[in-house]
Amino acid sequence: TLGSQWRVLPVPDDGSGGPHEFVSETAGEERRRQLVGRYLPEPRWNVRIATFEGDVAERAEEWRVFVTKAGQILRTEHTLPEARPGATLDENAARERAVAIVARDFSLDIAGGTLREVSARPAKRKARTDWTFTFVDASLPPLPQGEPRIAVEIAGDEVTVVRRFVFVPEQWERQQRATSTRNLIVRIIVGVVFGGLLVSAAVAGVVAWSRRRYTPRLFLAATGIMFAVTLAAAANSWPSSQARFVTEIPLPIQLLGAVGIGLVALVINSALAGLALGAQPARLEGSGTLP
């Protein structure tokens, strides 16, 4: 039961990403479809529950609740502040807790050969010890590359995360990062080119206005339409923007920054589009016409 200081921030998550591409590329599209909803995420809601009030260190506590399109809870993740006191379990006790959770949630166990442990990693905190156990689901046919895995995270004696995922080898991830870097460079070049064209057209519009070869009414109409459309798009994405706010910075400062920067960008983009369009009627007058 949470108090009024907690904010519930739901955002849609289409579930796409590298693991989907990896399985499709290495094991085939049919195998990818078989794993969707189990080890590969499907479209869902990602609900973040956080607070921006109180002690800064305590604000690190958050919940993540993943909800299907049918309203069913897939899993809940609980993040605790690193300084929060808790139990210090030894490896065997923590492993027993993790194996019991996997057996309860997924009907897999080590004794039956359907579960295989990959790693057990401790993390010493200020007043507790956290554990992360990773298992392989051996009940499924093996993938050509990668593995269907289950991770269990324990903070003190509380199981905070239980998630299924496809392990992607580092070599494939490096190749994807290289491809992403090239794509980013292309996107930057495209943005610079089209941004330069828009600015050039706006400057030409200012010159045409100074020479009285301009249509101010079209400038006002185009600027207003661009402003309204961009404002609607910003309002539509506002919940997603709020969900990305960090709890270390006071909420009013983040709201002021997001709104201020957004309004400046909105006005500049709308004015540039309006200035570019306002000069077009005079140019069209001198162009050829079709019968």
Condensed to tens digits (0 to 9), the pLDDT of residues 271-282 reads 998 988 888 887
pLDDT surpasses 80 at 130: yes
Tell me the β-bridge partners of 137.
Answer: 115
Section 120-136 average pLDDT: 94
pLDDT of 108: 92
pLDDT of 151: 96
pLDDT of 187: 94
Q: Could you tell me the pLDDT band of residue 35, with boundaries at 50, 70 and 90?
A: very high
Section 139-156 average pLDDT: 94
pLDDT of 216: 87
| Main-chain dihedrals φ then ψ at residue 37, nearest 5 degrees | 90, -10
CB neighbours (10 Å) of residue 29? Answer: 11
Section 55-79 average pLDDT: 92
Q: Give the distance from CA 85 to its chain's centroid.
A: 30
**Which amino acid would we find at residue 165?**
F
**Which amino acid would we find at residue 164?**
R
Q: Could you tell me the pLDDT band of residue 17, with boundaries at 50, 70 and 90?
A: confident
- Better pLDDT: 45 or 213: 45
Residues with Cβ within 8 Å of residue 135, at least 6 apart in sequence: 98, 102, 108, 115, 116, 117, 118, 149, 150, 151, 152
pLDDT of 107: 92
Section 12-25 average pLDDT: 89
pLDDT of 282: 77
pLDDT digits (tens, 9 = 90+) for 42-63: 999 999 999 998 888 899 999 9
Residues with Cβ within 8 Å of residue 276, at least 6 apart in sequence: 198, 201, 202, 204, 205
Section 235-248 average pLDDT: 90
Section 194-207 average pLDDT: 90
pLDDT of 112: 85
pLDDT of 16: 84
What pTM was estimated for this model as a whole?
0.80
Give CA angle at 162 (166, 91), nearest 5°.
Answer: 105
pLDDT surpasses 80 at 283: no
Q: Could you tell me the pLDDT band of residue 169, with boundaries at 50, 70 and 90?
A: very high
pLDDT surpasses 80 at 286: no
The mean of the pLDDT values for the chain is: 91
